[in-house]
């Protein structure tokens, strides 16, 4: 008995050990295999979805969670995640994507030719997921109130209709394109223009749709990399309300290529809405200058701004606000573009000629819309730019960007890297030498705002000064004593050192290397001569609805001067 027990004991312990090893391996390997299988299936599903997106005529985008209660347009089931079309607003579950492509047409940017010219088109109805608080065009009652797939919306005029109010006549009724008919490029217009180009005819003015005199088609140019990264959302919202052919992503299409659409539209009728910062606006205005060089002056558009950048001083000057964070509906933005007034903006040529090298180097040439500066504010911009180049992912918020500017401004208050600037430079205004007081910076202004919302030329507003305008061919030149002085001016506790106004500014940097900037683009510059002369005018749109108290007082003073001038004449 003892021998049997002694022989059976080790064998059973070995079996127990192997059993423990087996189940341990199962406990470890099985979750790994399940995880690998799930990730494989997920990647396979993503490949299939991307393939469907690529082949589809819809502008599909996938979301893990819809922002409002949504129902699949194919199976009518409630869905939390799935795909939506940025152009027509269709929403479907992942499993119904292929069926949706077969059953539903997206917005047509150009009508299919049936051998004749078109001057109208029927409604394009999509069932379900109508906008909140929309009203039926027949009974005027609210639509989309039932918790199911119900009611219809036209993807062009945005009118909505109850299921019970939908009649056969509505399905064939001519679409009026709704509230924004004056901004939309209808598909049949592009079909007609395409045929005219084949026939080598260019009198596009005779093809104005709707027989309307005030048609002002708008082109949307959005920079999805600007400021707070709202460009992607805005692109989708504008595609819903307009013809998708009017909406461009500047990260994929250059402004010069997008503005070619202007040549297919009536002369002096197009308006462009630039969604981005002041740098994006300058990029678009440079492309418009290229149109002038090509002899396309009659197609030059007027430019409005939706501020998505950090500073947005040009946008602020033209009444479009200091920044956009989604607080205004896209519909209201389009109304503002329709109601805006046309004005001119001076654009300036900044030529930087290096000293020495026997003048063999070509001078740097910039185009200035906002301001040129040398000194502490240029140093802050240079440090900010260098930091952003190293870690661009950190600079996705307007608040973070301004916080970094504040940090570098505080640092300069202690270090004072730009002191004794008056000993290093010479300044000439219209050929007249200006004696400089003790300064750390010089700023040459074309617009009213500077430094993210400060009216620099006016200062505290307690001293008489010549009025500053952005269309009078004059530059305002001011000096600052340092970063702390700049901060005082921004909170209206100090005035700048007003050095004068001029048509031409010449600045000579005699020695050392100093930071300079043109419209927020900074660099470190050695001894040189900077010459600023008038280049051209840009056609802009001014929106009077965003005026601040400073704007109102400045405009009233300008109107008063105009009235006095008229009386004298």
Two structure tokens written together for 565: 């001038």
The string of pLDDT tens digits covering residues 523-533 is: 999 999 999 99
pLDDT on residue 413: 57
Model pTM? 0.84
Q: What is the mean pLDDT of residues 416-426?
A: 84
513 vs 532: CA distance, rounded Å: 20
pLDDT on residue 534: 96
In this predicted structure, the answer to whether residue 255 has a pLDDT above a threshold of 90 is: yes
In words, the CATH class of domain 53-106 is: alpha beta
CATH code assigned to 181-195+214-339:
3.40.50
485 vs 383: CA distance, rounded Å: 19
pLDDT on residue 389: 67
Q: What is the mean pLDDT of residues 469-490?
A: 89
In words, the CATH class of domain 121-178 is: alpha beta
Percent of the chain at pLDDT > 90 equals 43
State the chain's mean pLDDT as an integer. Answer: 84
In this predicted structure, the answer to whether residue 454 has a pLDDT above a threshold of 90 is: no
User: Which is more confidently placed, 468 or 499?
Assistant: 499
Beta-strand relationship, 364-368 and 152-154: unpaired
For residue 209, what pLDDT band results from cuts at 50, 70 and 90? low
Q: What is the DSSP secondary-structure string of 8-33? A: HHHHHHHHHHHHHHHHHHHHHHHHHH
For residue 362, what pLDDT band results from cuts at 50, 70 and 90? confident
DSSP label of 245: G
pLDDT on residue 557: 45
Beta-strand relationship, 505-509 and 425-429: antiparallel
Fold: same for 53-106 and 121-178: yes
CATH of 347-536, one of 2.60.200.40, 3.40.50.300, 3.10.100.10, 2.160.10.10: 2.60.200.40
Q: Which of 56, 152, 34, 43 lies closest to 101, judged by CA?
A: 56
In this predicted structure, the answer to whether residue 116 has a pLDDT above a threshold of 80 is: no
Least confident among 127-141, 186-200, 250-264, 506-520: 186-200
User: Which is more confidently placed, 498 or 191?
Assistant: 498
User: How is the beta sheet containing 441-445 ordered, strand by strand?
Assistant: 497-502, 475-480, 441-445, 371-374, 514-518, 521-525
236 vs 59: CA distance, rounded Å: 9
**Other CB atoms within 10 A of residue 541 CB:** 23
Percent of the chain at pLDDT > 70 equals 84
The string of pLDDT tens digits covering residues 287-339 is: 999 999 998 899 999 999 999 887 789 999 999 998 888 889 999 999 999 99
Beta-strand relationship, 271-276 and 247-249: unpaired
For residue 490, what pLDDT band results from cuts at 50, 70 and 90? confident
Q: What is the DSSP secondary-structure string of 92-116? A: E-GGGHHHHHHH-----SSPPP-SS
356 vs 325: CA distance, rounded Å: 48
Side-chain-side CA neighbours of residue 361 (13 Å): 11
377-407 burial code (b ≥16 CB/10 A, e <16) = bbbbbbbbeeeeeeeeeebeebeebeebbee
Domain ranges of the chain: 53-106, 121-178, 181-195+214-339, 347-536
In this predicted structure, the answer to whether residue 564 has a pLDDT above a threshold of 60 is: no
Q: What is the DSSP secondary-structure string of 186-203? A: -HHHHHHHHHHHHTT---
pLDDT on residue 415: 60
Q: What are phi and psi of 373, to 5 degrees?
A: -150, 155
């Amino acid at each position: 008995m003892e021998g049997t027990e002694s022989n059976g004991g080790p064998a059973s312990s070995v079996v127990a050990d192997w059993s423990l090893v087996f189940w341990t391996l199962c406990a470890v390997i099985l979750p790994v295999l399940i995880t690998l299988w799930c990730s494989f299936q997920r990647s396979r599903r993503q490949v299939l979805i991307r393939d469907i997106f690529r082949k589809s005529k819809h502008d599909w985008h996938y979301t893990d969670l819809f922002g409002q209660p949504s129902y699949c347009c194919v199976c009518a089931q409630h869905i939390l995640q799935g795909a939506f079309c940025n152009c027509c607003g269709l929403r479907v579950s992942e499993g119904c994507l292929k069926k949706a492509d077969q059953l539903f047409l997206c917005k047509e940017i150009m009508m299919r030719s049936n051998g004749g010219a078109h001057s109208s088109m029927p409604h394009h109805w999509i069932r379900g997921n109508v906008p909140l608080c929309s009203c039926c065009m027949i009974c005027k009652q609210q639509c989309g109130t039932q918790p199911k797939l119900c009611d219809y919306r036209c993807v062009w005029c945005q009118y909505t209709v109850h299921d019970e109010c939908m009649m056969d006549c509505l399905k064939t009724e001519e679409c009026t394109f709704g509230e924004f008919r004056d901004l939309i490029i209808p598909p049949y217009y592009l079909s007609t223009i395409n045929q005219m180009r084949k026939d080598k005819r260019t009198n596009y003015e005779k093809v104005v749709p709707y027989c309307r005199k005030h048609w002002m088609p708008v082109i949307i140019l959005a920079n999805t990399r600007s400021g707070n990264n709202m460009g992607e959302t805005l692109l989708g919202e504008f595609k819903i309300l307009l013809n998708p052919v009017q909406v461009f992503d500047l990260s994929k299409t250059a402004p010069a290529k997008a503005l070619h659409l202007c040549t297919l539209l009536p002369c002096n009728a197009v308006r462009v809405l630039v969604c981005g910062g002041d740098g994006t606006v300058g990029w678009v205005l440079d492309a418009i200058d290229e149109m002038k060089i090509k002899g396309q002056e009659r197609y030059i558009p007027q430019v409005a701004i939706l501020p998505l950048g950090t500073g947005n001083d040009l946008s602020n000057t033209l009444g479009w606000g200091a920044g956009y964070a989604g607080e205004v509906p896209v519909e209201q933005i389009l109304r503002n573009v329709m109601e805006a007034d046309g004005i001119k903006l001076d654009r300036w040529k900044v030529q930087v000629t290096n000293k020495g090298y026997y003048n063999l180097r070509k001078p740097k040439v910039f185009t200035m819309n906002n301001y040129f500066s040398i000194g502490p504010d240029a140093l802050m911009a240079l440090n900010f730019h260098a930091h952003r180049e190293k870690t661009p992912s950190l600079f996705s918020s307007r608040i973070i960007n301004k916080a970094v500017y504040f940090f570098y401004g505080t640092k300069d208050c202690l270090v004072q890297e730009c002191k004794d600037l008056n000993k290093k430079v010479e300044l000439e205004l219209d050929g007249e030498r200006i004696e400089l007081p003790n300064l750390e910076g010089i700023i040459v202004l074309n617009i009213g705002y500077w430094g993210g919302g400060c009216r620099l030329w006016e200062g505290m507003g307690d001293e008489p000064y010549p009025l500053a305008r952005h269309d009078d061919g004059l530059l305002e030149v001011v000096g600052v004593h340092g970063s702390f002085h700049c901060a005082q001016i921004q909170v209206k506790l100090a005035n700048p050192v007003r050095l004068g106004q001029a048509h031409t500014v010449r600045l000579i940097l005699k020695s050392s290397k100093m930071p300079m900037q043109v419209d927020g683009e900074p660099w470190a510059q050695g001894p040189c001569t900077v010459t600023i002369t008038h280049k051209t005018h840009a056609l802009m749109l001014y929106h009077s609805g965003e005026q601040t108290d400073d704007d109102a007082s400045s405009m009233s003073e300008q109107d008063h001067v105009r009235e006095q001038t008229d009386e004298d004449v």
